[in-house]
Each structure stands twice: as structure tokens, then as C-alpha cells.
Amino acid sequence: CLLAQIVDAPEQRVGSYSLVTAESREVLPDPTAVIEEPLQRLVTESFFSWAQKAPLQTAVCQGEHSWTYEQLAERTDAIGRILKHTELKTGDVVAVHGRRSLGLIASMLGTLVSGGVLLLIDHQLPDLRKRLMLKEGRARRLLLVGADGKDWLDAGQAIESFSIEAMTGAIIDSESSLNLKTASLPKVLPEYPAYIFFTSGTTGTPKAVLGCHKG
């Protein structure tokens, strides 16, 4: 079919020839037709739904420590509400820095349910790389999980930070002084931005990539 078209009209551009025969054209789908996008359940919805169905089931464990789904949901809800209490807007970037721990998981989920955009920073990265991620990601809040501290932060960079206990998920010196019920969690929509990750930077400056909740 392709060769016949070329022989019949050899002067035409290559892009004008077709690989589709008359017979196959009738059965192939229309490539210009709009396909309805299936609705996928969001991570935040799935998590809270499971916490309601199986609150006493183990959700996460580390060594001898473990949390049920009910406990993880409580910590997630508290962290999310505290972020909203700081007037965090939907789409604002929240950096989460710390070692692997129960508090790190709660901080990640808390960021997602608050409508914030999660920027996870590995504590083992060089300080320069951490500062670059905060700057390029335009982080507005920083959750410091564990006792690593924030010596790596640029003194000239204005960012509101909170310290979180690694094993309890409690926000140090903040939670007891706030009325968490006054800060309601937003409804997260599929098209809202959810997370930022960075390329390796092996060919130059690392580039930030933004993903959304439906992804």
C-alpha cells in the first residue's frame, strides 16, 4: 500500500503517504476522538477510607514500634491541620526532611491532605543540594523530622519550619498551643499539584518535576 502511493505520486512529501489501508481504516479507532479519562481514587482518599474500615490494623512499623491506621490517621490529620493553621495555600510547597521513621510517613501524608505540594529531601544529600531543592522548589514550609537539625539551611532564606518527633509524629512546641479544630482540611482534587521530585542533575543543574494527585 505504501509503495503503491509512492509510485503513483513520487513527488509528494513523505508525511503525506499513509500506512493505513482502506480496509483497516474502517476498524481502527479515530485518533482525534477525545477519550474520557477514568476517575482514579486519590491516595489521600484511599488512606482515610482504609483507616475507617480497619482502624486497628497495623499501618506502619519500624523495629519494635508500630502504628495502627487509626494512630497514623490522627497524626496525619494533626500535621495537616497545623500546616493549614499557618495559612498554607493549596499548591504551596512543603519540604519534608528527616530520616526514615513513623513521623516521616505522617509528615508526608499530612502534607498531601493539607493541599500542600510534597518535596521530600533525603537527609543524606549534600547541604548544597538540599538548599538548591528548597530554592528551586520554592518551598514555603519545612517539616524537620527527628533530631538532625537545620544547620544546613541558608541563613538568608526565609522559611517557616517545624520540628516533628520521629517516633511519635508530634509537632514540638506547636500543637498544644493551637486549636486544631479551627483549621479545616481542604478537599483535594485530582488535578491539584501533589509532589515535586528532582532529576539527578548529572548533565547540569537538577530540574524540578511537578506531579499531580491523579498521577
- Phi first, then psi, for residue 106 (nearest 5°) are -65, -35
- Strand 58-62 and strand 65-68: the pairing is antiparallel
pLDDT of residue 203: 78
> Does the model's pTM come out above 0.85?
no
* Cβ atoms within 10 Å, residue 173: 9
Reading the block at residue 48, the C-alpha cell is 482515610
pLDDT of residue 60: 96
pLDDT in tens, the chain (215 residues): 999 999 999 999 999 999 999 889 889 988 889 988 888 889 999 999 999 999 999 999 999 999 999 999 999 999 999 999 888 999 999 999 999 999 999 999 999 999 999 999 999 999 999 999 999 999 989 999 997 777 888 877 778 889 999 999 988 866 555 666 667 888 999 999 999 999 887 877 888 999 999 98
pLDDT of residue 121: 94
158's enclosing H/E stretch is: none
pLDDT of residue 92: 95
Contacts for 160 with CB less than 8 Å, ≥ 6 apart: 86, 140, 141, 142
pLDDT of residue 44: 93
Contact 197, 211 (CB under 8 A): yes
Three-state DSSP class for residue 119: strand
Q: Which of 45, 109, 39 is nearest to 80 (CA)?
A: 109
144's enclosing H/E stretch is: strand 139-145
